[in-house]
Amino acid sequence: MSEDKDQEKKAAEDKADVEITEESKEEPKEKKTDKKALEKERKEIIQKMLRIQKEFMELERSKGVTEKDIHHNPQGIVKEYKEEHEKLANRLVDIAHALKGSIRT
């Protein structure tokens, strides 16, 4: 009888190993899909940030915006550029952590 129990136990372990292996096969597909989506979003964000920077540089040249205007009580379009850029930068950091599997602290 002990042999029967050992065989049943081994069969159950083998079955569990097969299930784990099958789950492992599925996870990378999902991660690859997520990774591709994150990479695509990352590229889009970088393009938006570059566009914002170019527009801001043009504003800086034409209106004489200074660092003080940006960092001390920004108003109007300067405030909008700053907020948009910060939002995109934060999302970019989140994506970088997700791609590397690290945690943002």
Q: Where do the structural domains in the chain lie, given as residue ranges?
A: 2-100
What is the pLDDT at residue 79?
86
Per-residue pLDDT band for 41 (boundaries 50, 70, 90) equals: very high
What is the pLDDT at residue 8?
64
- Which tokens in the block code for residue 12? 């159950």
pTM of the entire predicted model: 0.62
> Which percentage of the chain shows pLDDT scores above 70?
69
Residue 27 CA: distances (Å) to CA of 16, 36, 47, 73, 98: 17, 14, 30, 47, 15
- Mean pLDDT along residues 63-74: 79
Q: 105: which DSSP letter?
A: -
Is 92 in contact with 42 (CB distance < 8 Å)? yes
Our measurement of the distance from residue 9's CA atom to the centroid of its chain's CA atoms, rounded to an integer in Å, reads: 43
- Which tokens in the block code for residue 62? 């034409």
Is residue 6 pLDDT above 90, yes or no? no
